[in-house]
């Protein structure tokens, strides 16, 4: 039997609340370890989720290369500062990836950094299974591993 990763209402609601708490936050998307979109806040269309997935894959590859080169441990977060917005990318313990965009004159970057860290710390409420990349799955393995209490 296949179990849902998370109910879309639960994950969407959690991402909506994250976006709603910080002025200037535009959207939030959660990706699987393989970069597949698992859910997004309101107004995240499939095309945007796919584009974010591609961008995040490239940035994560660079971040992971930096951690190997600098022998600095695991990658936790990437922040991209652009002239009119910021993109926060944070790895979650269960293997998923949170991406949030914040923009505008009223954008509170410090508040968003705090909210991203808070979401990551509480993510297992919304993503109750452990995910591993399909590339590490063995024959017959679904790649989804349930947490054991």
Q: What is the DSSP string of 19-67?
A: HHHSTTEEEEEEE-TTS-EEEE-TT--HHHHHHHHHHHHHHHHHHHHHH
- Structural domain count of the chain: 1
* Residue 99: domain span: 8-128
144 part of a folded domain:
no
30 part of a folded domain:
yes
133 part of a folded domain:
no
141 part of a folded domain:
no
Provide the greatest CA pair distance for the chain: 51
78 part of a folded domain:
yes
- pLDDT tens, position by position, for the chain (149 residues)? 333 344 456 888 999 999 999 999 999 999 998 889 999 999 899 999 999 999 999 999 999 999 999 998 888 999 999 999 999 999 988 888 999 999 988 788 899 999 999 999 887 776 655 444 444 444 444 333 333 44
114 part of a folded domain:
yes
Q: pTM of the predicted model, to two decimals? A: 0.78
Closest CA to 29 of 58, 42, 20, 21: 42
34 part of a folded domain:
yes
């Amino acid at each position: 039997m296949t179990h849902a990763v998370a109910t879309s209402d639960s994950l969407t609601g959690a991402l909506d609340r994250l976006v709603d708490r910080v002025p200037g936050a535009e959207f939030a998307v959660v990706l699987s370890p393989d970069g597949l979109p698992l859910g997004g806040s309101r107004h995240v269309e499939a095309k945007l989720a796919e584009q974010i997935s591609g961008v995040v894959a490239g940035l994560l590859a660079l971040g992971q290369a930096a951690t190997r080169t600098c022998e600095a441990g695991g990658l936790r977060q990437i922040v991209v500062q652009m002239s009119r917005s910021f993109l926060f990318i944070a790895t979650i313990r269960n293997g998923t990836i949170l991406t949030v965009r914040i923009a505008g004159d009223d954008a509170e970057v410090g508040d968003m950094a705090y909210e991203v860290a808070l979401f990551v710390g509480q993510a297992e409420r919304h993503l109750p299974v452990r995910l591993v990349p399909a590339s590490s799955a063995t024959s017959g393995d679904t790649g989804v591993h349930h947490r054991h209490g």
